[in-house]
Chains A and B, each alone.
Chain A
Amino acid sequence: MGEHVIRLPDVGEGVAEAELVEWHVKVGDMVREDTVLAAVMTDKATVEIPSPVEGEILWLGAEIGDTVAIGSPIVRLKVAGEGNVQEGDATPEAPEAPQLPPQEKKVVPDNPAKPAAVEPEKKQPVAAPAQPGGTRSAGIGAPRREGEKPLASPAVRLRAREAGIDLRQVPGSGPAGRIGHEDLDAFIARGPQPGKVSGLVRNDRVEEIKVVGLRRKIAEKMQLAKARIPHITYVEEVDVTALEDLRAGLNKQKPGADRPKLTLLPFLMRAMVKAIAEQPHLNALYDDDAGIIRQYGGVHIGIAAQTASGLVVPVVKHVEARDLWECGAELNRLAEAAKSGTATREELSGSTITITSLGAMGGVVTTPVINYPEVAIIGVNKMMVRPMWDGTQFVPRKMMNLSSSFDHRVIDGWDAAVFVQRIKALLETPAMIFVEG
């Protein structure tokens, strides 16, 4: 019998560390060669770590959410034969916490009941009965399965019935979850409206959810953006009646493979290309550490998209070189890929300016957070018909607000206003979007 140590492999070019996002095994599991042990996430992708050998898991070297350096041991296996550890070798991998930067230490102090925690849960008998104190809290005693009759003596049942209490709501502290007179007393003494199924019940539960994976990436990105960038947000309303007429007209023509159904976004994207041509410094990345603004010739528009696991930003590259239809088609393709999780790292990075749109959920005004290190983000609010004064009367117009944020360090308010006004003018007279020169 020997011991085999698995170290975090090099999971990508230039990656020095990775975040452990999932354990697929626990201590004591038998694994075969190629059994997936864990998943780690780098800046670029989520990678599964397979076992190179067959054996029994002895030790797991990190917890979910930990950042692990490439090459540090993450799993120790008991294997048949030699293994890859020499006797004298064992000390460096002693099961201390893996190297973590101090601030990375879990927010929750030391909770032994963590999922995939290293062990010691199993030492106590499962049904450790009657903990001293606190026996009156909910959930003591055997859990009652859905539809299972509450266990109580006839006298308790009668009292509950007379008091109008549904015993199914009463936790039983007795053996096998039996409800006693004390449980009933406690239940009556507790809630403001005991017994009513529809009554309001206090919920004192606190759930600890680890911020890991994509959620953590989003959190870090947002924090960085808000910490470093002094946002200026500018809101303007746009009359999109003409644009909507045009869009409806175009969509009425038979859609084909190269003619997808158009949303408003391709028009906005093309309008942004025009506006950026006049104000190229808005299509830029500000490397604030280096003090350099990188102004891009190509317009690469990130489109903030909601997926099941959180916010991602697929990027439509070189919008300046795509016509309306190509923009639409590329948007559809990327949205699909983002939703199904098949979007590549390349498709999810490289934007120079971003659009955020929640469609019908877009609200009246938003304060978009800039996709750091970009310098501008255009937020699309919901479209609605509003009465507008045309000089002589109110007329119903399709109105939509744009809420846009800019990095005030490098974009002045005036420039921001000019940019948005330009887009507004283009969208209100959509023919201008397509006029060259």
Chain B
Amino acid sequence: MKEISCKLLVIGAGPGGYVCAIRAGQLGLDTVIVEAGKPGGTCLNIGCIPSKALIHAAEAFEQARARAGGDDPLGISAAAPSLDFGKTVGWKDAIVSRLTSGVAGLLKKAKVKYVQGHARFRDGKTIEVETETGQQIIRAENVVIATGSAPVELLSLSFGGRVISSTEALSLADVPQKLAVVGGGYIGLELGTAFAKMGAKVTIVEALPRILAQYDAELVRPVSKRLAALGIDVLVGAKAKGLPSKGDALLIETADGKDRKIAADKVLVTVGRRPVTDGWGLEEIDLDMNGRFIRIDDRCRTSMRGIYAIGDVTGEPMLAHRAMAQGEMVAEIVAGHRRSWDKRAIPAICFTDPELVTAGLSPEEARALGEIKIGMFPFSANGRAMTKQGEDGFVRVVARADNHLVLGIQAVGQGVSELAAAFGLALEMGARLEDIAGTIHAHPTQGEAFQEAALKALGMALHI
């Protein structure tokens, strides 16, 4: 097959890779993107988007079920609902395919050449791609490694059969009757909650003393409360030991050291994600590493000239929007613009019930840097939250005590994921408490809690 030469080659068409390629194409760079799977990567195909679809469907089903109970405070009564999970998955798949074909269309529009196949470095400038029609050699002046991440597998619970990763969980044929989730991070909680709402008996097994361990206890409390209300068993300090030789169950060792068997027709393992650093010829180019990740500088340059890396393969936080921002930046750098990583905040969201958002520094991190002020406003004092039956949770603002510069914002509550935009903007613009307090927040919205939290930090809260 004829060799291709290009200015920029992107390996991996996930959110980092495809954004990088689109921007590069827009800037007139001769760009090629290689993807072994479908465009959109983990995020669109087996991550963010499909999980949000299932979470939404589960939420709708759960509400209908609650109303069928006959004691709905809103006065709605309905017959007991039923769930055609096959149809749910079909709906989810339709969204995914709309988005992936959308990405393919955007790449085409930006005149990016899309090569389907598995890429592998031959050397720093040459990539071999195994395509369906044979080997394709691509020579590139610049290469962006955007190979992403994959679920971590436990030795005692290797994937296959009843043991599934998040990927399989998003494409099950039926809602499992009994689902054991190993790992109480955000992925396990999001999926576990969704399946519980769709009727599964869910048990979450977490090795650490608490779930969502990277967030402070105050922030996680409403989530724990809701998990209990949904009848989800949360076993903290417990270790998954493996599958029993017979029967649908999971063996665990509980916090007090006892062995226990949990009934489970499916075992979902969500114990984190690892960067994909194998299978594409890292050994051929021998890049400097930063632990498991590829080491990059503030321009996403690796230790080899002309080779960049973006996204999950470069480290935490493994979030699509970080990869996108990096991808955009790298495309502009390759096009000759002066750019470097200067973002102040990468917001993170858990689509748990209720949702959880963090942006910037936690109170603990901020305190380590100097004296701080904290303002917290509960949704129980917010009119809109009441009308949405979403009174659990709060917005919390952390600022420097001396000049009131906002350092971090956290929120937990129904639908707070949409507040991430305001939080990110406030931090990126360098807002002070007075800026947030002095901005009119439309009434009645949950966003008012953000303004009130800032007022509270200034000692001037109105509604509490």
Contact = CB atoms under 8 A, between A and B. Distances in A.
Interface of A: 127, 142, 149, 151-154, 157, 161-162, 164, 174-178
Contacts of B430: 151-153, 174, 176, 178
6 smallest CB-CB distances across A and B, nearest first, come from: A151-B430, A176-B403, A176-B405, A153-B429, A178-B430, A142-B403
A154 B403 contact: no
Contacts of B428: 153-154
Contacts of A153: 428-430
B337 interface: yes
Contacts of B404: 175-176
A41 to B, nearest CB: 39
B340 interface: yes
Nearest to B337: A162
B338 interface: yes
Contacts of B256: none
B375 to A, nearest CB: 16
A142 B337 CA distance: 31
B365 to A, nearest CB: 15
5 contacts: A152-B430, A154-B428, A164-B338, A175-B432, A176-B404
A156 to B, nearest CB: 9
Interface of B: 337-340, 342, 344, 400, 402-405, 428-430, 432, 434-435
Nearest to B399: A176
B165 to A, nearest CB: 36
A127 to B, nearest CB: 8
A142 B401 CA distance: 13
A149 B403 contact: no
Contact of A177 (B342, B403, B429, B435): B403
Nearest to A155: B429
B432 A142 contact: no
Nearest to A167: B342
Nearest to B402: A142
Contacts of B342: 149, 157, 161
A154 B342 CA distance: 8
Contacts of A178: 430
A151 B400 CA distance: 13
Contact of A161 (B340, B400, B405, B429): B340
Contacts of A177: 403
A157 B435 CA distance: 20
Contacts of B435: 175
A59 B225 CA distance: 63
A178 B400 CA distance: 14
Given A152-B430, A175-B432, A161 B339 contact: yes
Contacts of B429: 153-154
A177 B430 CA distance: 10
B344 A175 contact: no
A162 B338 contact: yes
A176 B340 contact: no
B402 A175 contact: no
Contacts of A142: 402-403
Given A161-B338, A175-B403, 20 more contacts: A127-B403, A142-B402, A149-B342, A149-B344, A151-B430, A153-B428, A153-B430, A161-B340, A161-B342, A162-B337, A162-B338, A164-B338, A175-B435, A176-B400, A176-B403, A176-B404, A176-B430, A176-B432, A177-B403, A178-B430
A138 B404 CA distance: 22
Nearest to B404: A176
Contacts of A164: 338
A178 B344 CA distance: 14
Contacts of A157: 342
Nearest to A157: B342
A305 B337 CA distance: 60
Contacts of A174: 430
Contacts of B432: 175-176
Nearest to A161: B338
A177 B339 CA distance: 23
A337 B435 CA distance: 62
A151 B340 CA distance: 16
A177 B405 CA distance: 10
A149 B345 CA distance: 13
Most buried by A among B338, B342, B428: B342
Contacts of A154: 428-429
A49 B391 CA distance: 67
Contacts of A127: 403
A178 B426 CA distance: 13
A161 B434 CA distance: 28
Contacts of B402: 142
A341 B403 CA distance: 45
Contacts of B338: 161-162, 164
| Residue of B340, B405, B430 most packed against chain A (CB within 10 A) | B430
B24 to A, nearest CB: 18
A357 B102 CA distance: 85
Nearest to A180: B430
A413 B460 CA distance: 85
A142 B400 CA distance: 12
A14 B239 CA distance: 88
A387 to B, nearest CB: 56
A176 B344 CA distance: 15
A175 B434 contact: yes
Contacts of B405: 151, 176
A6 B182 CA distance: 78
Contacts of B340: 161
Contacts of A152: 430
A142 B340 CA distance: 25
A138 B405 CA distance: 20
A152 B432 CA distance: 12
Contacts of A176: 400, 403-405, 430, 432
A136 B366 CA distance: 30
A76 to B, nearest CB: 35
A176 B435 CA distance: 11
A153 B403 CA distance: 17
A142 B403 CA distance: 8
A206 B25 CA distance: 54
Contacts of A162: 337-338
A97 B339 CA distance: 60
A154 B400 CA distance: 20
Nearest to A126: B402
A213 B339 CA distance: 54
B133 to A, nearest CB: 43
Nearest to B400: A176
